[in-house]
Structure 1
Amino acid sequence: MSVHPSPLSRVVLVVEDEPLLRMVAVDFLEDEGFTVLEAATAEEALPILESRSDIGVLFTDVNMPGKIDGLTLATHVAERWPHIRLVVTSGRQGLTNEELPDDGQFVEKPYRQRQLVDAIANAA
């Protein structure tokens, strides 16, 4: 059973520094009909966010290399692009949805395809 994303949430930006985990997330989402963009760090994600107006969901890991972690990225996105829904993941720290900006959704690693897709759908 496939989730039919709304037009706004059809494009998802996946920000994950681990290439294998990023590939898995991209495959999961593309299998469900989403258009997926990829970035390995928050710094790499920012120019993508600035250059595209069709991104509906940001899916980001919390712990990433660089000056900006995923939670800071999610907060920045909530402030600058309030139309973008947020889904945050981590295998190191558990968060609740209430701890995330802008009614974001938390998905704990390791996650299954259905968990990720449901979080994206619930965030949208």
Structure 2
Amino acid sequence: MAHSLIYTQSAVPTVLVVEDEPLQRMSLMDLVEEAGYPVEEACDADQALAILETRPDIRIVLADVDMPGSMDGLRLAALVRDRWPPIEIIVTSGRGIPQLKTIPARAMFLPKPLSEQRVIEALSQFG
């Protein structure tokens, strides 16, 4: 019985939420958890990369475009696509839609304010 329980938990992809605004990050994490996904958090791209280096179970990155630090969410998404090709990527922004050429292959863009239903649909599409 324990084997099937472990398998079931590991079959659900872990989501890394990368958002610099604490309240938005907590809200997104709650939404992801309520949708049935394990979740990890990062406040910027540098922290996200450190987590990705040590967490092979992360299968989806949900990142805000506009973040302080060494890179924004689009640069993070491009780096994730390059270094970890199997990881699915969802980028969000409240400052307009980025140019299509700046969004990595297979990545999805969701405008802010985020619709809970759209986030859940995006996660289920990837998970």
TM bin (shorter chain): 0.7 to 0.9
| Equivalent residue in structure 2 for 1:38, among 35, 38, 41 | 41
**SS class of match (1:117):** helix
Task: Pick 1 or 2: higher relative contact order, CA cutoff 8 A, min separation 6.
Answer: 1
* Residues 1-124 of structure 1 aligned to structure 2 (within 5 Å): 7=11, 10-95=13-98, 99-124=102-127
One-letter code aligned to 1:63: D
TM-score by length of 1: 0.88
How many residue pairs get matched?
119
**Does the 8 Å CA contact 1:12/1:35 hold for their aligned counterparts?**
yes
- The runs of 4+ residues in structure 1 deviating greater than 4 Å are 96-99
Q: Distance in 2 between matches of 1:36 and 1:50?
A: 16
Aligned partner letter, 1:66? G
Distance in 1 (alpha carbons) for counterparts of 2:99 and 2:113? 16
Please, which moves more after superposition, 114-123 or 35-44?
114-123
- Counterpart of 2:93 in structure 1: which amino acid? S
State the identity %.
44
Structure 2: gaps (5+ residues): 1-9
Cα distance in structure 1, aligned partners of 2:103 and 2:126: 11
- Asked whether the equivalents of residues 77 and 104 of structure 2 are also in contact (C-alpha less than 8 Å), the reply is yes
3-state SS, counterpart of residue 105 of structure 2: helix
Q: Which has the greater radius of gyration?
A: 2
Q: TM-score, normalised by structure 2?
A: 0.86
Report how far residue 123 of structure 1 moved.
3.6
